[in-house]
Structure 1
Amino acid sequence: MKKQTLPIIQNDPWLKPYESAIVGRHEAVLSKEKDLTNDGAFSLSDFATGYLYFGLHQTKEGWVIREWAPNATSLFLIGTFSFWTEQSEYQFQRKENGVWELNIPQGVLVHGEIYKLKVYWNGGSGERIPAWATRVVQDPSTNIFSAQVWSPEQPYKFKHKNFVPQRDPLLIYECHIGMAQEEEKVGTYKEFQENVLPRIVDAGYNCIQIMAIQEHPYYGSFGYHVSSFFAASSRFGTPEELKELIDTAHGMGVSVIMDLVHSHAAKNEVEGLGNFAGDPNQYFYAGERREHKQWDSLCFDYGKNEVLHFLLSNCKYWLEEYNFDGFRFDGVTSMLYYSHGMGESFTNYSDYYNGYQDDNAIVYLTLANELIHDVKKKAFTVAEEVSGMPGLALPFKSGGYGFDYRMAMNIPDYWIKLIKDHIDEDWKPSSMFWEVTNRRKDEKTISYAESHDQALVGDKTIIFRLIDSDMYWHMQKGDENYRVNRGLALHKMIRLLTASTMNGGYLNFMGNEFGHPEWIDFPREGNGWSHKYARRQWSLVDNKNLNFHHLADFGKAMLALFAERPKFQDLETEEIWHNDGDQILAYQRGDLLFVFNFNPVQSFTDYGFLVEPGKYKVVLNTDSKSLGGFGFSDDNIDHFTHGDPLYKKENKEWLKLYIPARSAVVLKRSK
């Protein structure tokens, strides 16, 4: 009997020469799932429950703690209860398969107690934080991290257990709890919930993507050098406060996903997994593949079942314990390739099937997606992936890796290059439109003009590239100079073009929607450990005498326009016209017509487009005075199409518009 061709190959015949590799990866996932589930004796979800077994848990008799440390010769639990000394009654017993267990009687450990492991191995010993610790805190006087007993008398109870995320379209607000407040300090879950979450809802976003949740020793790593994978960062508050934040967001109709870092781990040994029990390769690849030299971190060995158990359990833990709605998987490109994607151009399909891919990582990512969607039917996943690996955001049954979305990472790179390398007269609408719509038709993407990556020191946000130092001197209403007016106009146009052509969702990083003037620089030795640039200046957007609020108002109006249309992201985006000489672009989507004039000096009168017959009314104009523009057009005028016998059979008529220089307008069609 002939095997059925996988849909990914049916939909893209250019993949046919690589069918054996695609099918091989597909079958490798099935084989590994059989291995992990004892040939189907239990489910993958049953397998991914390590957090219920390992780590510290209360029992009727007291407590039990278990750790996987196959290279250890002995383990002790130490803490304030033992005066930080090794005592025989707190020595672990070795079980099978490198598992160690200790039962602790009632009354020894209390809520808030701090503790660690003292691990011995042949030739050495060291203090360690348990790998499965769910609460880790830092002593403010010594900066030393320890695990903490977390057993509050009143654990948080979720009020919105059956929340269903809104994804038509998915509008993501990427945020960081610590730098979300204006004060020069580390913000908290509670402050974010009370002060920032209402702003996000008001702006029209229906999802928040929270960075830096998993515990990380160095605040300035942005949360990407994780040490304790099951612990929510305590620098922002307690587990109960994070749960309340998520629950509150759900009550406001906002889904919550987290940046999940499984692409690498911090090198730290005392706080992390770098040398947990005298075996530096317990969790990580051996040899040259152990270290990610560009990131100064360690690479997980996705070929080990114990590592898969750890990581898959981690996925399920955050869904079950905190009620997250899904994940944005960080650094997927780095996971997929032995080279971590460094120095590769990825110009043709052979680059994805040439034997330089980490099949272990591909199997893990696919299993993780299968697990996540099994544990929580409405959960969704986003892949941060730059190489363009085919099938990444296709279901497993179609031959894909199971992500719901992939980041359209080409778009911000394009805008940076355009702003940096080309004068305004050389901006070509045909190139812009191709870039924002260039994607695999069967895979959903998250479009964005810029994310946190473009806001960090060493890079520049779009608004900073456009306006630069004049941000500090000429953002007062009435005091704008040419550079400010240009920047305000292009900031809105770039976002409108990026968001309106999405085929899955749209993302914005916290503060960029109103043109936040400062880059991000976390406290470090080089800046005197200052928090000055690790915050968001909300007072700027609240000040109606400044132009920042115009950008925020535009973003709000833009998102509202999309949200009014069911499944806007699925509507066909049909180009109507482009002329690179005039720098004019027009396309339609449903009942909306989008018209852009990127020409910096020339306005056009009675510029004609062939469109569907009807009445067209302006519903959004980047040049509106209320949105910080000049108001050169009268948006109250209804525009009617005019018939032409030449195009009657095509059911097209002429629509003629006045289009001011450097502006964009959205018109709604009605019959």
Structure 2
Amino acid sequence: MNRPDDAVLDTVATGSYYAPHDVLGLHGQPDGTWVIRARRPLAQTVTAVLADGERVVLTHVRAGIWEGSTDTAPLSYTLETAYDGGVAYTADDPYRHVPTVGELDLHLIREGRHEELWRVLGARLHQTAGVDGVAFSVWAPNARAVRVVGDFNSWDGQGHAMRSLGSSGVWELFIPGLGVGTTYKFELLTQAGPWITKADPMAQHAEVPPSTASIVTDTTHEWADDAWLTRRGSRSPIDQPMSVYELHFASWRPGLTYREAADPLVGYLIEQGFTHVEFLPLAEHPFGGSWGYQVTGYYAATSRFGTPDDLRYLIDRLHQADIGVIMDWVPGHFPKDEFALARFDGQPLYEHPDPRRGEHKDWGTLIFDYGRNEVRNFLVANALFWFEEFHVDGLRVDAVASMLYLDYSREAGEWEANIYGGRENLEAIRFLQEVNATAYKRYPGIAMIAEESTSYPGVTAPTSQGGLGFGLKWNMGWMNDSLEYMKRDPMYRSHHEGELSFSFVYAFSENYLLPISHDEVVHGKGTLFTRMPGDHWQKLANMRAFLAYMWGHPGKQLLFMGQEFGQMSEWSESRSLDWWLLDQPAHRELFNFVGALNRVYRDHAPLWARDSDAGAFTRLGAPHWNPNVIAFSRRDNHGNTIAIVCNFSGAPVYDFSLDLGESGQWTEILNSDVPEYGGSGVGNFGAVRADDSGRATMTLPPLGVLWLSHSTEGSS
């Protein structure tokens, strides 16, 4: 009988051998017999019970390793083990099973091209040779040995060492008898010597923080959103209405689970008329105060609010109500928590090894090594995972600017130029192009949205033209300029008209989304309400005017929760929104106005059908601009036109003459100053009429915005 030497047996006994299946399990011998080896420390007797009923008594060899032989190759066997006291336990042997990861999978992982990585790595329910269990696999190329630990082995992994699958860096072990709910981690023997314990990077479920173990899971959710997905796949968000309600789940309605939130959230969004909801990151994260932006479990929906299937239920319900779902996604950095990705196998692995490229000084986090195939694959597959497994309709990609530039937030000498001597991170650019191209190829009708704050060219240009390939880009310039303008006393706004009109110069250079996001209502910035000048009435009037201007401006819209009813206190993730404000008539009127804004917007194609087409936009008022009035018109593909006329002064403007460009009646479809929304009631009795030259005379309400509609007869 060929037997490994004692040094190998001792290493196997402690779960420290890189190839435990070469020693344990079933092995053919040169003389035609078969040997069965098992690790059963402290056992009194060990017997292999073959499928045909034959019993093979194993004898102790060394350090808890037992072996026995049989003349015929058993199709399968179980191990019957008796310990002190005579009680016998029967169990299948993990080491008799073939690998659960195929050669093609390993090849794709090495190449960085496995688009469904979550189906191969992590912890997956699996059946092999008729035996149910869990297949564990993890990428850890620098580890000397890897073990699975969990509640099933009292967190002692010596009996569950994984096998190395060669140059792929993947380790694998099938453990029979385990199922959904099993908690586990990986133990890794580092090159430096000590063992370290890590959560599974591919885990699809995790314990509720501050606990950090991974949990075996499976989905039983039956989706009912086929109609939504069919419609989504037949159209592009670019030429559809999109008004997004950005929401931090924990503080929107504190205490609700994913399932409990379904009814109130769907009802609220329907009442408000938003087309989409965007969740701040819901991937697992250890620190709630990071708002989800420091992710440790990229494939695990946070357990704070329920199971992954509970989140699927919520998304399904939103889709059935014709509401799209956008998820905040954070591929730009990850935290240094010891249990997670940082120095995963004892060395930099997911992070770039050069701290000039691998660490965010400002945020105290690490940066992915975008040039490494397996890391890039981990992130690309993660984006696809959210589309495939959770049916999300878009990903808002956080902090894109920090990924694009090697000198982002770094002083001279703290960064290294790329191979061409430039500051662009070429590897990150290639990653972004790949994830966008792959996502759009697989899931037509989705939206990949970049939070990108610089003038980097071609963010929304196709990758085939050298662009990054995003569908939409946050218009941070518009946001900063417009908020700067709105905070000014109306008396002085006339000197700063360019802060609003400058956006018209570049509004069509990308496909833009206009954001008033969570970042604008924290860190001492106040809220949209508190930024507005004047008394309480004037603040609300300014808010209505600003939102009507924003919804009329080219681009899609995003509004952070609470601003729709004039939240007065700065947002904190640790407490609820000030819902009591909806009991105050003035704030309820603002709430009703936002609902009307969304409904009118959705019903009128000129406001969204050609958002990125400069030919559908006209600045009104030339050649004599009124410095307090910003006016422009939008057209659809059928000759219908909407004029947006904004008076940002504190007084009404009577007999205001404006060339609207088309003669006939212009219907007042929205007036931010009507009494039902808390306004003063200044308007035009529902319509204005333009003469044959297209010029109309109208009354502009104070701190008010008019939307005027001119329809072509017979148009659709």
TM bucket normalised to smaller: 0.7 to 0.9
Post-superposition offset of 1:668: 2.0
Query: Matches of 1:217 and 1:424 in 2, distance apart?
Result: 48
Instruction: Output the amino acid matched with 1:137.
Output: E
Query: Matches of 1:234 and 1:501 in 2, distance apart?
Result: 39
Report the equivalent of 1:477.
Answer: none
Report the equivalent of 1:413.
Answer: 480
Query: Matches of 1:258 and 1:41 in 2, distance apart?
Result: 27
Query: Matches of 2:633 and 2:467 in 1, distance apart?
Result: 31
Report the equivalent of 1:472.
Answer: none
Secondary structure of the residue aligned to 2:218 is: coil
For 1:334-413, list aligned pairs within 5 A: 334-340=402-408, 355-413=422-480
CA contact (8 A) 1:394 1:442 kept: no
Post-superposition offset of 1:428: 4.8
CA contact (8 A) 1:429 1:584 kept: no
Query: Matches of 1:149 and 1:188 in 2, distance apart?
Result: 20
1:586 matches 2:634 = no
Report the equivalent of 2:535.
Answer: 483
Change (3 A) 1:462 1:95: same
Secondary structure of the residue aligned to 1:443 is: coil
For 1:422-437, list aligned pairs within 5 A: 424-428=491-495, 430-437=497-504
Post-superposition offset of 1:186: 4.3
Change (3 A) 1:283 1:604: closer
Which structure has the larger Rg over C-alpha atoms?
Answer: 2
Secondary structure of the residue aligned to 1:600 is: coil
Query: Matches of 2:487 and 2:409 in 1, distance apart?
Result: 24
Post-superposition offset of 1:434: 2.2
For 1:519-598, list aligned pairs within 5 A: 519-522=570-573, 531-532=574-575, 535-541=576-582, 543=583, 545-566=584-605, 568-571=607-610, 572-577=616-621, 583-590=628-635, 591-598=641-648
Query: Matches of 1:258 and 1:316 in 2, distance apart?
Result: 12
The partner residue of 2:189 within 103, 117, 120 is 120
The partner residue of 2:688 within 636, 639, 642 is 639
Query: Matches of 1:582 and 1:660 in 2, distance apart?
Result: 15
CA contact (8 A) 2:208 2:302 kept: no
Instruction: Output the amino acid matched with 1:187.
Output: L
CA contact (8 A) 1:179 1:187 kept: no
Change (3 A) 1:117 1:670: closer
Post-superposition offset of 1:300: 0.4
Report the equivalent of 1:175.
Answer: 247
Query: Matches of 1:656 and 1:151 in 2, distance apart?
Result: 65
CA contact (8 A) 2:429 2:468 kept: yes
Instruction: Output the amino acid matched with 1:609.
Output: L
Report the equivalent of 1:496.
Answer: 548
Instruction: Output the amino acid matched with 1:485.
Output: W
1:68 matches 2:139 = yes
Report the equivalent of 1:92.
Answer: 162
Query: Matches of 2:245 and 2:434 in 1, distance apart?
Result: 27
1:655 matches 2:655 = no
Change (3 A) 1:419 1:642: closer
The partner residue of 1:622 within 672, 678, 693 is 672
Post-superposition offset of 1:342: 6.4
TM-score (norm 1): 0.81
Instruction: Output the amino acid matched with 1:517.
Output: M
Query: Matches of 1:635 and 1:212 in 2, distance apart?
Result: 46
Instruction: Output the amino acid matched with 1:159.
Output: A
Report the equivalent of 1:14.
Answer: none
Measured against aligned partners, the alpha-carbon deviations of 1:233-259 in whole angstroms (never above 9, x if no partner) come to: 111211111101111111111111211
The partner residue of 2:355 within 281, 287, 292 is 287
Query: Matches of 2:184 and 2:149 in 1, distance apart?
Result: 6
Secondary structure of the residue aligned to 1:145 is: coil
The partner residue of 2:659 within 592, 610, 623 is 610
Change (3 A) 1:457 1:229: same
CA contact (8 A) 2:376 2:431 kept: yes
Post-superposition offset of 1:538: 3.2
Secondary structure of the residue aligned to 2:608 is: helix
Report the equivalent of 2:26.
Answer: none
Unaligned runs of 5+ in 1: 1-36, 345-350, 468-481, 523-530, 644-651
The partner residue of 1:159 within 224, 228, 231 is 224
Measured against aligned partners, the alpha-carbon deviations of 1:183-229 in whole angstroms (never above 9, x if no partner) come to: xx443212321212221122111111111211110001011100111
CA contact (8 A) 1:407 1:447 kept: yes
Query: Matches of 1:409 and 1:444 in 2, distance apart?
Result: 13
CA contact (8 A) 2:461 2:510 kept: yes
Query: Matches of 2:630 and 2:350 in 1, distance apart?
Result: 56
Change (3 A) 1:438 1:124: farther
Measured against aligned partners, the alpha-carbon deviations of 1:554-596 in whole angstroms (never above 9, x if no partner) come to: 1122222221123632442211116666512222223222222
Unaligned runs of 5+ in 2: 1-103, 413-417, 611-615, 636-640
The partner residue of 2:522 within 456, 473, 488 is 456
Change (3 A) 1:422 1:359: farther
Instruction: Output the amino acid matched with 1:667.
Output: L
Query: Matches of 2:353 and 2:696 in 1, distance apart?
Result: 62
Of all paired residues, the percent bearing the same amino acid is: 26
How many residues align? The count is 577
Measured against aligned partners, the alpha-carbon deviations of 1:410-457 in whole angstroms (never above 9, x if no partner) come to: 122123323456664234574144244342635210013x21101223
Instruction: Output the amino acid matched with 1:454.
Output: E
Measured against aligned partners, the alpha-carbon deviations of 1:153-190 in whole angstroms (never above 9, x if no partner) come to: xx001111334337312221111211110xxx443212
CA contact (8 A) 2:328 2:395 kept: yes
Report the equivalent of 2:200.
Answer: 130
TM-score (norm 2): 0.76
Secondary structure of the residue aligned to 2:585 is: coil
CA contact (8 A) 1:75 1:91 kept: yes
Bigger relative contact order (CA 8 A; separation at least 6): 1
Moved more, 304-313 or 603-612: 603-612
Query: Matches of 1:465 and 1:248 in 2, distance apart?
Result: 36
The partner residue of 2:370 within 302, 314, 328 is 302
Change (3 A) 1:147 1:567: farther
Query: Matches of 1:102 and 1:521 in 2, distance apart?
Result: 44
Query: Matches of 1:77 and 1:629 in 2, distance apart?
Result: 65
The partner residue of 1:245 within 309, 314, 317 is 314
Secondary structure of the residue aligned to 1:416 is: helix
Change (3 A) 1:653 1:420: closer
Secondary structure of the residue aligned to 2:605 is: coil
Post-superposition offset of 1:356: 0.3
Change (3 A) 1:423 1:665: closer
The partner residue of 2:559 within 486, 503, 508 is 508
The partner residue of 1:105 within 158, 173, 176 is 176
The partner residue of 1:447 within 489, 514, 531 is 514
Measured against aligned partners, the alpha-carbon deviations of 1:122-156 in whole angstroms (never above 9, x if no partner) come to: 322221101111111136xxx3211112136xx00
Post-superposition offset of 1:621: 1.0
